[in-house]
């Protein structure tokens, strides 16, 4: 009988190790945190996004992200602009300094991805991607379902 995979434990361990290493590298080489880098990457893909959109994409609360955007704005990496049609909507835009920093740090991120995946075949990499996407898509439903089943048996 195969030993059951401890998904929570192993994902937590992997996440902690990866983000600890990324934080150390990004801070020392680029004066960025992994979350700041993620914001810059999102803005590279689609500039001028409301903070609520960025928060949703990063699974963060709007208030947590507001402070982070404030600090990034002070560093000149992003700026806030009112949307033309509706002055109440504030859009976050990447600055040229932020764009340059994101593009420079992207090379390191791609190199880290290649290094981490180097010992896996293309097929295994596809399975890893499918597994991680499955967890992202199904985590809330799975845990809600398990919680509901437990309540039904009480």
Per-residue pLDDT tens digits for 25-44: 999 999 999 999 999 999 99
Q: Helices marked H in 4-50 — which ranges?
A: 7-30, 34-45
Contact residues for 40 (Cβ-Cβ < 8 A; gap 6+) = 32, 77, 78, 94, 98, 99, 101, 102, 105
Per-residue pLDDT tens digits for 53-65: 999 999 899 888 9
Q: Of 130, 114, 106, nearest to 32 (Cα)?
A: 106
> CATH number for the 29-118 domain, one of 3.30.420.40, 1.10.10.10, 1.10.10.1100, 1.10.3720.10?
1.10.10.10
Long-range contacts made by residues 62-71, C-beta under 8 angstroms, separation at least 24? 65/39, 68/35, 68/36, 68/39, 69/39, 71/36
What is the domain partition of the chain in residue ranges? 29-118, 120-154
Please check the confidence at residue 1 and state whether its pLDDT lies above 70. no
Contact residues for 88 (Cβ-Cβ < 8 A; gap 6+) = 82
The beta strand positions in the chain, using DSSP E, are 49-50, 78-82, 90-94
Per-residue pLDDT tens digits for 71-91: 999 999 999 988 766 667 889
Please check the confidence at residue 150 and state whether its pLDDT lies above 70. no
Provide the 10 A C-beta neighbour count for residue 40. 25
Task: Kindly state the DSSP code that residue 75 receives in the 8-state scheme.
Answer: T
pTM for the whole structure: 0.81
Contact residues for 95 (Cβ-Cβ < 8 A; gap 6+) = 76, 77, 78, 79
């Amino acid at each position: 009988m195969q030993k059951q995979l401890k998904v929570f434990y192993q994902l937590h361990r992997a996440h902690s190790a990866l983000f600890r290493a990324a934080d150390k590298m990004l801070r020392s080489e680029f004066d960025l945190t992994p979350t700041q880098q993620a914001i810059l990457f999102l803005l590279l893909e689609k500039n001028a996004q409301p903070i609520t959109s960025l928060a949703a994409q990063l699974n963060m609360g709007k208030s947590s992200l507001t402070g982070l955007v404030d600090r990034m704005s002070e560093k000149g990496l992003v700026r806030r602009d009112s949307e033309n049609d509706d002055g109440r909507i504030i859009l976050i835009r990447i600055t040229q300094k932020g764009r340059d920093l994101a593009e420079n740090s992207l090379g390191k991120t791609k190199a880290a991805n290649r290094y981490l995946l180097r010992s896996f075949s293309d097929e295994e990499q596809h399975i890893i991607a499918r597994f991680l996407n499955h967890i992202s898509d199904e985590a809330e439903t799975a845990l809600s379902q398990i919680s509901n089943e437990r309540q039904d048996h009480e």
